[in-house]
């Protein structure tokens, strides 16, 4: 579901963007005054950057596509080389852009300059030794994570993260679950010292660029002062927190009925019992907590299979959703070049992704489609990326991306929210949609996936920002991690933890230096978009039953937003759909209103909160 495809400049930056900017404010102050740059030079520089980055991005996309759909040693090398070339160019342009600091240029040009510099997620210090050390540290931490395995005592077979993910999702034996949880978290302590050093060096690089620290650099990407952005996130979380607390209380009760005293009647839920290694989404325990009669009375997977729906037809359904909104058909090449079916004769990356190879209209998806309800959903989600990519393809290269990094995922997810029973009736897949009494089951499942995620989506960077700012010292890495998990998620480890552990390192994005706030934003935005579209589409009933299928008005608004790309600050893009310039989590409360009411009834007289 992650967009791996379009190799836009900021994608490169997200990927690893390593920069040795080779300058510092001190140095530039003592430098002999050179000839002051002109606006004309700035313009020419940006034009050169855009042309070069576009060309390199297309090369890299082609190499990555071949690598993902035909994995061999050679294709892996070719794609790594193409990525390196593109990244090196990005770093070089970011470095050269600083020459124009302080020059007054037209707004568009200023925005492009800013994007060139802000797209970095890691700034290496100008000292070459330190820069090299930082590169090595990140590669090594990522490698340690990637190779991480749990080898249970007395067993021959070691368990990979994939094995352990399945175990956490499917086992209902608390001992086995705890063993898997503890086993995986053992991969992280060896990273602790590297992580500490990485924080020092990354901060040094960020400070040379004029940021207070790396966390402040990350927060600067949101068209507002870094501290205001942090406050915005708090505000959004507080809007939705009471609903999360209700969900938490209900789930705690149900788990207690299933597992007994392992789950306390009040307080924190043991982190290993929620169906996921990080307790970040809880849909895997739906069968454990589902109310009686939660079954919606139809099974889309069964329907699709019975009708002998083929892979192409699955994708056609998705395309038809967008054309019903007024979007053009996908290009012929999409159907010729996409990968829908897992090839039988070679290794491929099956993880679903959407691509825009030439950054114009060579759109593709890469999936190994199963004829299931889940993949029906995923197709709608992936095509959301493709239609976004095509909508901004007339923007200058540096603006060919989503309004902020939360938007791309939010669009795909918004579209998937429109896959309602009524939509399936319109497609002729379902004869009659189930009545409203079935909604609680559907809503609960969605809440376990999306609402349970919110506190986790927030806390990873809450922790990292404090680590980067020095508020959390290394000797408190683990203690503060669990304080935040307690504060936001209401979960706790079932075995004592200490500073010998390094539990944040057991989540990929921490060792790999990937910012996480975008996922929180995407989860907030998708409901806000959906609520606004529901109004445009004239939906009368509850939000969870509204599909914007066939609404030209919703389609027009969507296209207005998508076609802005990254050319304007994100509040402009938000306004194009919602008429609001602020993110707003009350749409989540509206969407789940029937479930909130039901949860309150279930929780009556029982402890709520922790």
What DSSP character marks residue 339? B
Neighbours of 587 (CB within 10 A): 24
Rounded least distance, CB 351 to Zn ion, Å: 10
Q: Tell me, letter by letter, the H, E, C secondary structure of 127-161.
A: CHHHHHHHHHHHHHHHHHHHHCCECCCCCCCCECH
CB atoms within 10 A of CB 34: 7
Shortest distance, position 417 Cβ to Zn ion, whole Å: 14
Q: Measured from the CB of residue 412, what is the shortest distance to Zn ion in angstroms?
A: 5
Closest approach of Zn ion to the CB of residue 322, in Å: 15
Task: Identify the H or E element spanning 354.
Answer: strand 353-356
Q: Are strands 353-356 and 269-270 parallel, antiparallel or unpaired?
A: unpaired
Task: Quickly list DSSP for 240-273.
Answer: HHHHHHHHHHHHHHHHHHHHGGGS-SSSPEEGGG
Q: Which is nearer to Zn ion, 418 or 494 (CB)?
A: 418
Helix (H) or strand (E) holding 353: strand 353-356
Say how far apart CA 82 and CA 68 lie, in whole Å. 14
CB neighbour class for 329 (10 Å; exposed up to 12, middle 13-18, buried from 19): exposed
Least gap, CB of 385 to Zn ion (angstroms): 6
Beta-strand runs (E) in 280-336: none
On whether the CB atoms of residues 324 and 549 are closer than 8 A, the answer is yes
3 vs 380, beta carbon nearer Zn ion: 3
The single-letter DSSP state of residue 581 is: S
14 vs 245, which CB is nearer to Zn ion? 14
Nearer to Zn ion, 126 or 404 (CB): 404
1 scored as a contact of Zn ion (CB under 5 A): yes
Q: Which two tokens stand for residue 98?
A: 């600083």
Contacts with Zn ion in 201-230 (CB under 5 A)? Answer: none
Structure tokens at 505: 């390192």
Strands 353-356 and 491-492: unpaired
Cβ count near 247 (within 10 Å):
22
Looking at residues 106 to 165 of the shown chain, list those that interact with Zn ion (rule: CB under 5 A).
Answer: none
- What residues between 385 and 444 interact with Zn ion by CB under 5 A? 409, 412
The span from the CA of 32 to the CA of 29, in Å, is 8
CA 78 to chain centre: 27
Residue 318 sits in the site that holds Zn ion (CB under 5 A):
no
Taking the C-alpha atoms of residue 363 and residue 318, their distance in angstroms, rounded to an integer, is: 14
Using CB under 5 A as the binding rule, whether residue 360 contacts Zn ion is answered as: no
- With a CB cutoff of 8 Å and minimum separation 6, the contacts of 51 are 397
Structure tokens given for 233: 């996130």
Shortest spacing between CB 399 and Zn ion, in angstroms:
20
Cα angle at 144 between 142 and 147, to 5 degrees?
105
The rounded distance, in Å, linking the Cα atoms of 109 and 43 is 7
Nearer to Zn ion, 214 or 386 (CB): 386
* In the complex, minimum distance from the CB of residue 522 to Zn ion, in angstroms, rounded to a whole number: 9
174 versus 412: smaller Cβ distance to Zn ion = 412
Q: How far is the CB of 409 from Zn ion (least distance, A)?
A: 5
> Residue 247 or residue 524: which is nearer to Zn ion going by CB?
524
The distance of closest approach from Cβ of residue 450 to Zn ion in the complex, given in angstroms and rounded to an integer, is 14
Closer CB to Zn ion, residue 182 or residue 368?
A: 368
Report the residue number whose CB is nearest to Zn ion. Answer: 1
List the structure tokens of 462. Answer: 């809450």
User: Nearest approach, Cβ of 170 to Zn ion (angstroms)?
Assistant: 25
Min dist CB 405 to Zn ion, Å, is 12
Binding-site size, Zn ion (CB under 5 A): 4
Between 263 and 417, name the residue whose CB sits nearer to Zn ion: 417
> What angle in degrees, to the nearest 10, is found between the helix axes of 453-469 and 439-450?
10
Here the tokens at position 482 are 């669990």
Q: Which stretch binds Zn ion (CB under 5 A): 1-9, 206-214, 464-472, 569-577?
A: 1-9
Report yes or no: 77 and 375 within 8 Å, Cβ to Cβ.
no
Output the six-digit token pair for 365: 């998806």
Q: Cβ closer to Zn ion: 219 or 518?
A: 518
- CB neighbour burial string for 435-459, b if at least 16 within 10 angstroms, e if fewer: eeebbbbbbbbbbbbbbbbbbbbbb
What residue has token string 């789930």? Answer: 251
- Comparing C-alpha atoms, which of 532, 490, 494 is closest to residue 249? 490
- Active site positions, annotated: 351-352, 381-382, 385, 409, 509, 519
Q: Which residue number, 180 or 412, has a Cβ lying nearer to Zn ion?
A: 412
Residue ranges that bind Zn ion, judged by CB under 5 A: 1, 3, 409, 412
């Amino acid at each position: 579901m992650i967009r791996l495809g379009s190799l836009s400049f900021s994608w490169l930056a997200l990927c690893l963007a390593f920069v040795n900017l080779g300058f510092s404010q001190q140095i530039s102050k003592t430098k002999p005054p050179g000839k002051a740059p002109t606006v004309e030079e700035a313009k020419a520089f940006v034009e050169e950057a855009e042309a070069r980055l576009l060309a390199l991005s297309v090369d890299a996309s082609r190499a990555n596509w071949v690598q993902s759909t035909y994995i061999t040693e050679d294709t892996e090398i070719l794609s790594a080389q193409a990525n390196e070339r593109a990244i090196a160019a990005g770093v070089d342009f970011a470095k050269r852009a600083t020459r124009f600091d302080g020059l007054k240029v037209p707004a568009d040009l200023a925005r492009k300059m800013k994007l060139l510099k802000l797209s970095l997620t890691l700034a290496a210090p100008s000292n070459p030794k330190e820069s090299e050390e930082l590169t090595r540290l990140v590669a090594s931490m990522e490698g340690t994570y990637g190779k991480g395995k749990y080898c249970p005592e007395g067993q021959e077979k070691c368990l990979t993260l994939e094995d352990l993910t399945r175990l956490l999702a499917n086992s209902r034996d608390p001992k086995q679950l705890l063993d898997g949880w503890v086993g995986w978290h053992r991969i992280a302590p060896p990273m602790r010292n590297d992580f500490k050093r990485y924080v020092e060096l990354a901060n040094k690089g960020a400070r040379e660029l004029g940021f207070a620290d790396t966390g402040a650099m990350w927060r600067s990407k949101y068209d507002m002062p870094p501290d205001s952005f942090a406050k915005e996130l708090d505000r959004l979380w507080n809007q939705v927190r009471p609903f999360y607390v209700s969900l938490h209380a209900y789930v705690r009760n149900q788990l207690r009925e299933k597992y007994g005293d392992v789950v306390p009647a009040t307080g924190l839920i043991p982190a290993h019992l929620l169906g996921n290694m990080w307790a970040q989404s809880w849909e895997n325990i739906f069968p454990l907590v589902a109310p009686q009669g939660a079954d919606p009375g139809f099974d889309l997977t069964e329907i699709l299979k019975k009708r002998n729906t083929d892979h192409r037809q699955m994708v056609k359904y998705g395309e038809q959703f967008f054309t019903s909104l007024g979007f053009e058909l996908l290009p012929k090449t999409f159907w010729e070049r996409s990968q829908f079916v897992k090839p039988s004769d070679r290794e491929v990356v099956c993880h679903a992704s959407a691509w825009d190879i030439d950054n114009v209209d060579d759109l593709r998806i890469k999936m190994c489609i199963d004829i299931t309800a889940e993949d029906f959903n995923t197709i709608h989600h992936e095509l959301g990326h493709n239609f976004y990519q095509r909508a901004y393809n007339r923007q200058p290269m540096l603006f060919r991306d989503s309004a902020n990094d939360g938007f791309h995922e939010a669009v795909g997810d918004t579209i998937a929210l429109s896959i309602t029973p009524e939509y399936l009736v319109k497609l002729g897949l379902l004869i009659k949609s189930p009545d409203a009494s079935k909604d609680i089951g559907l809503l609960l499942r969605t809440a376990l996936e999306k609402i349970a995620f919110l506190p986790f989506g927030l806390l990873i960077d809450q922790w990292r920002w404090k680590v980067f700012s020095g508020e959390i010292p290394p000797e408190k890495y683990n203690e503060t991690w669990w304080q935040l998990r307690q504060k936001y998620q209401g979960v706790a480890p079932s075995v004592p933890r200490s500073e010998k552990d390094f539990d944040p390192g057991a989540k990929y994005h921490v060792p790999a230096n990937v910012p996480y706030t975008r996922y929180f934003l995407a989860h907030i935005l998708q409901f806000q978009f959906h609520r606004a579209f529901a109004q445009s589409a004239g939906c009368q009933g509850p939000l969870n039953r509204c599909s914007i299928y066939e609404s030209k008005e919703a389609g027009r608004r969507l296209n207005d937003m998508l076609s802005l790309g990254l050319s304007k600050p994100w509040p402009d893009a938000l306004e194009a759909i919602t008429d609001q310039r602020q993110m707003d989590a009350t749409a989540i409360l509206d969407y789940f209103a029937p479930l909130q009411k039901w949860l309150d009834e279930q929780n009556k007289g029982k402890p709520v909160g922790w």
